Amino acid sequence: MNLYAPWSLRALVKDLATGATTPQAALDRARARIAATEPDVAAWVVRSPAPDRASSAGVLGGVPLGVKDIIDVAGLPTRCGSALRADAPPARADAPIVSAWRRAGAVVIGKTVTTEFAFFAPGPTHNPAASAHTPGGSSSGSAAAVAAGQVPLAIGSQTAGSVTRPAAYCGVASLVMTHGRFSVDGVVGLSPSLDSHGVYAASAADLAVAWMALDGGGPVALPRRPPRVLLWSAEPIGVVQDGMRHALETLRERLTDGGAVVDDFPEERLVAEVTAAHPVVMAYEAARERAEELPAADRLSEPLADLLRTGARTPDAEYHDARKTVESARIRIAELLTSYDAIVGPAAPGAAPEGLSATGNPVLSRAWQAWGLPAVAVPGLRDADGLPLGIQAVGRAHHEGSLLTHATWIESRLA
């Protein structure tokens, strides 16, 4: 069986709107695909016995939705992939972000696998695009569920590279929303100044449909002109692999051939400096956000325990210096994004690493996440072995719709 078979959200929404299919048929399709593929994918931790379709009258009109298991869904436990939460009772209410998706018409059918408290310890999920390779973390279950065609839409969260990286590895699209765009109440967080919401779909064009439904704005159409982009190589960070370098060369050629203005990103060193500051901020804040778990660190995975202990030891001055590094650079990046439509570069160092014992390297998302900017992972490129290679497009804060129009255009050049 081919595990990689993403389900087009655009096609489903059109069929639901025209009556070519029904919400019940969409739910039946999701259940059938889960039944057929879940033994090999392992994307879910719990499924709703009777999904609530009462609010499925929005634009999405009955679209099956997966929810990362650090986000509250009324009636289902939030276990966060941790033994410390193994006996968690069902949540009493939806997180506001879940309520927002329900108002848009989505139907929650269950909770998807997360790494422990959205950090590094992997869950059981396999990558549908390459089952011997990691699906990434921490929103691995949501990315895999979309890549396998179990659902056309799933939500996650990102503190470092937890949405962008799984999308790149699994060959699907993702959107990380502007930090603070929606409330994070009802979400078990890790770092308040970094935690952002995310969503997965088969393509950037599908994400545009989802964003229109969630944001309540008009249709996201293709731009009237090819975009002006800055091409970020990420070379000073020292992790980009040859396959990704070749992919970026291909990307430049296809964008230029399509009429886009493509200039080199002029602040590579600035991104490297903020990339180095991000882990300091994350550890310091995580030790305080997850203070309840710190006394039980010996029952946590080693990476998470190390993060909390490191953060607890981090001096206030070091944390504030790291925040200053982020803030002083923010103005320059915002200035660049007034002249260009997006900054485009690698979403991960390369293709998904082989093995399931680690989740890959999130380093190429750290700086953009520290600035709280929206980022779209765009699929379409492959390496010499046929594995997905994702690129990411970063745009202005609170301009997700515009960013998605340009990401959709870029995606069309990679098809």
Q: Which residues pair with 228 in a beta bridge?
A: 261
Q: Which of 68, 111, 139, 365 is catalytic?
A: 68
DSSP states along 247-307: HHHHHHHHHHHTT-EEEE-S-HHHHHHHHHHHHHHHHHHHHHHTTTTGGGGGGS-HHHHHH
Q: Do the bridges between strand 196-201 and strand 173-176 make them parallel or antiparallel, or are there none, so unpaired?
A: antiparallel
Are the C-beta atoms of residues 142 and 166 closer than 8 Å to each other?
yes
Radius of gyration in angstroms for the set of CA atoms belonging to the chain, rounded to a whole number = 20
CA 151 to mean position of chain CA atoms:
15
What would the two tokens of residue 111 be? 């909770």
Annotated active-site residue 328? The verdict is no
Q: What b/e readout covers 94-119, taking b as 16+ CB neighbours within 10 angstroms?
A: bbbbbbbbbbbbbbbbbbbbbbbbbb
Helix (H) or strand (E) holding 12: helix 9-18
What would the two tokens of residue 110 be? 């269950």
Q: Which of 56, 82, 138, 142 is catalytic?
A: 138
What would the two tokens of residue 380 be? 């379409």
Annotated active-site residue 138? The verdict is yes
Annotated active-site residue 162? The verdict is yes
Distance from C-alpha of 128 to C-alpha of 133, rounded to nearest angstrom: 9
| Amino acid residing at 176 | V
Distance from C-alpha of 395 to C-alpha of 406, rounded to nearest angstrom: 9
317 contacts: CB under 8 Å, gap ≥ 6: none
Q: Supply the residues annotated as catalytic.
A: 68, 138, 162
